[in-house]
Amino acid sequence: MRYDLPKIVHGRTGLLVTRLGIGGAYCKTAEGYRAALDCGVNYVDTARVYQDGKDEELVGQAIAGRRHELILATKAMKRDAAGARQELETSLKLLGTDYVDIWHLHYLNSQVEREQVMAPGGALEAMLKAREQGLVRFIGITGHNWVEVGQAAATGIFDTVLCWYNCAMNEPETLVFPNTLEHNMGVAIMNAGRNDKLFSSTGQPAEADFYRYVLSHPAVHVALLGLRNVERFERIAQGLAERATLTAEERVEMETYGSKMRAMGKL
């Protein structure tokens, strides 16, 4: 079922994205991806390394005939220019497209890696060249280390960022978001539900509230949900179509719940 999901401009990219996006790596079939797309989502995230390359192939099958409607993001793991360029060419082939909207440096989690990709002959060279050639429209970074992601964002070089953020992990509010706001970067969030670990067996808080929480922050544009469970994706899409943000009081309630879960070692 198609839902009327709210949209927002993805920072300086100017891309109009649905506030819920599809996260790659978990769905095993093209049909699953199509079902998520049928909810009205227009942002699809994958990566060269997901499912040993199979993920891009599945996404490519799922987006056939509707590529023009979508914001497509993928990632390169290689840190050198030649390796990253080869990954991009493979990604384009498997995705069945001649360009991607956002090309991320994947899993940039250490100072050594950050310096390596930005040095002469590093992956950043391949990214800038691919952008000039029209093979990618915008470039970005992803990572699980908020300090390193924040440092990369502070350079102002990248158009977008993808990182962890949820009601139990608010570190990005001080380590990442000030830099993304300064440079008007597009911000995508993963782990709003911490790989489903934040979800309660009682259904309270509601699943959609974890996504409403991150979308309530002014720095955040889109929250990604990996397709471990297509039915859950559909429920959350429906919920966000009804309401995409929380009140200040509701945010505090979510943070109280998240702090409790983190203290209990649930994450």
The 10s digit of each residue's pLDDT in 74-112 is 999 999 999 999 999 999 999 999 999 999 999 999 999
What architecture does CATH give domain 7-263? Alpha-Beta Barrel (3.20)
Q: What CA–CA distance (Å, rounded) separates 136 from 103?
A: 6
Predicted local distance difference test score (pLDDT) of residue 1: 87
264 contacts: CB under 8 Å, gap ≥ 6? none
Pairing of strands 222-226, 7-9: unpaired
39 contacts: CB under 8 Å, gap ≥ 6? 1, 2, 3, 5, 20, 233, 234, 237, 238
Q: What CA–CA distance (Å, rounded) separates 100 from 98?
A: 7
- SS3 of 3-17: CCCCEEECHHHCCEE
* Each residue's pLDDT expressed in tens, for the chain with a length of 267 residues: 899 999 999 999 999 999 999 999 999 999 999 999 999 999 999 999 999 999 999 999 999 999 999 999 999 999 999 999 999 999 999 999 999 999 999 999 999 999 999 999 999 999 999 999 999 999 999 999 999 999 999 999 999 999 999 999 999 999 999 999 999 999 999 999 999 999 998 999 999 999 999 999 999 999 999 999 999 999 999 999 999 999 999 999 999 999 999 999 988
Nearest to 135 by CA among 99, 169, 106, 171: 99
Tokens of 63: 């987006």
Q: Is 201 exposed, middle or buried (0-12, 13-18, 19+ CB in 10 A)?
A: exposed
DSSP designation for 190 = E
At residue 259, φ and ψ (nearest 5 deg) are -60, -40
Q: What CA–CA distance (Å, rounded) separates 244 from 104?
A: 26
Q: What is the pTM of this model?
A: 0.97
Nearest to 117 by CA among 77, 87, 86, 153: 77
Q: Rounded to the nearest 10 degrees, how much is the dihedral formed by the CA atoms of 259, 267, 45, 225? A: -70
Domains of the chain, residue spans: 7-263
Tokens of 119: 């040095």
In the chain, the percentage of residues whose pLDDT exceeds 70 is 100
Among all chains, which residue has been given the structure tokens 């067996």?
Answer: 201
Are 222 and 17 spatial neighbours (Cβ–Cβ below 8 Å)?
yes
